[in-house]
Amino acid sequence: MIKGMTLVREVASADALDKLSRLLLSLGFEEGKGWKDEASQGTALLAPLGNLELVTGDRPATPALLIEVMGLDAIHAAVEKWLLANYKSEEVPSLLAAPELTSWNSRLFSVKLPAAGGEGLELGFWQSENPLHGKPVAIEGDLSAVGMKVAIVTARWNAVITDRLLQGSLDALVRSGASRADIEIVRVPGAWEVPSAARTLAETKKFDAIVTLACLIRGETAHYEAIYNEVARGIGQSQQDTNIPHAFGVLTCETLEQALDRAGIKAGNKGFEAAIAAIEMVSIQGKIRAEGGK
């Protein structure tokens, strides 16, 4: 069983080893377990990922040691600064190349680190231009609500807040392509009643998702914890029992001001966010079912 891979490169001196190790650590390598004995020493520089790439065919030459990075231009600037501190300034242009596009949808720059009397070292730093590069393949939901039927349950208690949450949810659904005719709005007295209405709606099997909206304010609700726990439990249980996504747009706030902030004044609109989560979950469910049928 393979455990790991180690690439060994020799540098000219203990001083060169120290300087280069510092540079690479500052760029993001993690320090591993180095070693030192009477005759020699080594620094271990750990990268989060590594792979052995075997290639063939007619292809442009690349440095044998390629380091994948994020923020290529910042890395280039840091390497240039380091070169200027450690080599003569007139040497630097011949040691450091500018980042260039490769034929494999990436940008790359190479840096040569000559060693007195030795082979020296050439490093290539590169960054993919593909935003999905390196991301694990995953099932992800789309944000299209076209054709989706959604029920929104909203509490009348603290209506100054819940009406804003409702506007946010409607905005998200309609902007994502849902038809207003496919959105059912149900108003209930307070947060306490939300789970039961959500469950009744879910059990009709007429809706792809349920969005639940309410606002509990601790300062005004003595039994706040008791109500909140039951509301959260009831909505979660309805979702699990019916297998229809229930988005949780129940605000739990210390003050009215905090609630206003979360209803669109400052910190986004939680009703909007809940509706987006519902849309995403409907899409994810469809994809998981489709994958399962493969």
Report the C-alpha gap between 279 and 251 in whole angstroms.
20
Report the C-alpha gap between 154 and 134 in whole angstroms.
41
Return residues touching ligand DLZ (CB under 6 A): 155, 157-158, 189-193, 214-217, 220-221, 227
Report the C-alpha gap between 153 and 279 in whole angstroms.
16
SS3 (DSSP) at 115: coil
Q: Which residue is nearest to ligand DLZ (CB)?
A: 190
Q: Name the residue nearer to ligand DLZ (CB basis): 19 or 218.
A: 218
Residue 223 is a catalytic residue: yes
Residue in 167, 190, 195, 192 with CA at minimum distance from that of residue 275: 167
CB of 226 to ligand DLZ, least distance (A): 10
Report the C-alpha gap between 293 and 31 in whole angstroms.
46
Report the C-alpha gap between 284 and 69 in whole angstroms.
31
Q: Name the residue nearer to ligand DLZ (CB basis): 217 or 278.
A: 217
Catalytic residue among 76, 133, 223, 246: 223
Q: What is the DSSP-derived secondary structure letter of residue 263?
A: B
CB of 217 to ligand DLZ, least distance (A): 5
Q: Name the residue nearer to ligand DLZ (CB basis): 150 or 216.
A: 216
CB of 79 to ligand DLZ, least distance (A): 57
What backbone phi and psi angles, to 5 degrees, belong to 266?
-125, -55
Q: Name the residue nearer to ligand DLZ (CB basis): 158 or 239.
A: 158
CB of 269 to ligand DLZ, least distance (A): 17
Q: Which amino acids are annotated catalytic?
A: 223
